[in-house]
Structure 1
Amino acid sequence: MAKKWGIRGLVAFGIYVLIMYVYLFHLNNGGIPDSLKGSPSDPETFMTDQELLLSGEYSKIRNFLFFILTPFEWLLYLFILISGLSYLFEKWSNVTKWKIMHNATYLFLLSLLTFIVFFPIDYFRYTLSKGYGISTQEFPSWMRDNIIDFWVNFVITVIVISVLYWLIKKSTKKWWFYAWLLTIPFSIFLMYIQPVIIDPLYNEFYPLKDKELEEKILLLAEEANIPAEHVFEVNMADKTNAMNAYVTGVGDNSRIVLWDTTLNRLSDEEILFIMGHEMGHYVEKHIYIGIFGYILMMFVGLWLLSKLMPWFIRKYGKILKIESLQQIHSLPLLLLISSFLLFFSNPLYNTVSRYQEARADQFAIEIVENPEAAISGFQKLAKAGLSEVNPPTLVKWFRYTHPPMLERINTIEETINNK
């Protein structure tokens, strides 16, 4: 029976991969509406023919990888379960009476296996990005980031999973609710320490060096009634040619971060628009709205897990080699269901995120009052990242947390025309 499940899973995955390949490579040409041709949002007006070609190729490959990797992850978890590997990992972990060490050993074996399986794919994505001129990171630096990722995720996972399975043993019916209650302070704690403990493990952060630009940002912040003492830049030029800026942290650890690539390649006027955008997130409390949304999604997700996990174990426990939800070797099933739920919640999350980003754009337009700089800045961002300005519908739904550049530039152009 387990063999049949494996074969069915492989066949279903193969059919899905074929469908996504046809959809992304043959049914979508990435064109733009005729009414926008020749406008500032038309990539032919600000990208060279070579950049247009590379952008199309790079976007299709990245989108294809995104859509096949998550189902591949599901297939891997299914294999770990039906092959008995998860059960063996737990058996091999019984080397100590200390439960935390038992869990840590099991999680190390599981994490190591998934790291090894996904390493060739991660390396391909790294070489792809470097081949298309996006990444500038050397292999030792990239490998160092991967190792840091592994250990940071491992430590957090040991804490979360140990507490989760302790709660499951203590209360088989209400564990999900108690787990949800704990996610609230834990998530806020992680967001609080992210800028000062986790992020510096990967890159060097320091206060903005350009004091003249800093003064302009401070004046803009003062106009918007925003405390702007937390403006940082980060050294990303050794890793990428792409540009970015973002808001991170909560409370007195909140900060606006600018990549040095953004500072090096955009004019002060274009940077001020980006800063206005990030200030829009601050003014409209998007970070706190995001925290509330995350907490709400965790409530729904954990409740669904509490219903789906026991059902799968009752119906397919023998095939999956799981006797009880309380056994930690049931974790791959929990991860499989969680990944499935997260994947199909992406359209909802991304829709809300795109709305917030559009609101932040509108705030920046109003406070900076330089739409021309906004348009030129967006064009440079699209060029630097070989962005797909008008992605296929499914790609937009599942991948885009920001409105596509076509929409962002066109919205600003309409603002100019309406004045």
Structure 2
Amino acid sequence: MEQPQTDRPPRRPTRPGLTVGRVFGVPLHLNGSMLLLALLVTVTYAEFARRQLDLSQLGAYLIGVGFVVSLLGSVLLHELGHALTARRYGIGVRGITLELLGGYTEMDRDAPSPRVDLLVSLAGPAVSAVLGAAAVAATLALPDGTLTNQLAFQLAVSNVIVALFNLLPGLPLDGGRALRAAVWALTRDRHTGTEVAGWVGRAVAVGTAAVTLVLTVNRLLAPLALPLMLLVAVTLWRGAGQSIRLARISRRFPLIDLRRLARPVLAVPTGTPLAEAQRRRAEGDRPDAALAVTDGAGRPVALVDPVAADAVPPARRPWIAVDAVARALAGLPVLPAGLDGERVMEAVRTHPGAQYVVTAGEDVVGVLHIADLAQLLEPKRKMNT
């Protein structure tokens, strides 16, 4: 299953899981949830193989493990279809992650045009369709009732289902990205395309849950598959909602003006008691100003960490120097004041943090707090400050 991996709001990146190597130069990660999927598929397929082929318990489970490996290989090839097509059009690929509900390809930027977006989105289902067709041909060529025939048949079914399901026209599925590309081409607005495809994705999620329940009630779906399919529906709903949210955030990128958004700097000499520095700020024009620590020559060398400062008990603040709760400017990410919104967001994603030093040439002109940026991008969302 595909997940949106671009247009993300500022946040600390999560670890993708265990890195197991590279495929065509693309880092490959395995999420811990893959263990649950591997166990579920192994047990289900082993019991099926034992009944159909009259195998021993050990033989059936060995076959189940083999099927899991083949299935993971199919998912990997699906994602490589996205990754290699993206690279063909100059889009960097950060990695491929295999997880409980399939996998996703993380790209370092969005497609530059609707055409490229369409080609990248359809590349994965195209690979799955080719694999499914090859497995169908193998199923027809192999003798009925044999182990190889059953493996080929199951791979054919799984790849065809993956291809067809991913073509459903709603984000975060591949078909949703294709729908986004189509709406983008018609409206010339990528954000509108994302929002439309996100709402359709929510409809797909509801439909998936409804079909799953109907099949289960009519005993056409194994009870063991019910929780997994409902998890798929929930994941689709959440992914679609995330896409809608990110489309609305991205629309506000042009509003990012670092000179207006950054908080001013109030300089205090090194050794100044924390209580005195906070008193000067409270009596100034901007009580939200950032406290900068200057050296003997008056040059800013550090920035007071507001979290660390707030953690100091008020009774101790007259006896604690600002230096004790400050971070060296050299260790903080820097944003030139002239960056546009897109570049600011890319810098924030690349160097996540709580504060950013805003500069004009060699001068520090302000400090951007990530909470202020988040509030600008989502003014109706309640923020923790």
- Relative CO higher for 1 or 2, CA cutoff 8 Å, sep ≥ 6? 1
TM-score by length of 1: 0.28
More helix per residue: 1
Larger of the two Rg values belongs to structure = 2
More strand per residue: 2
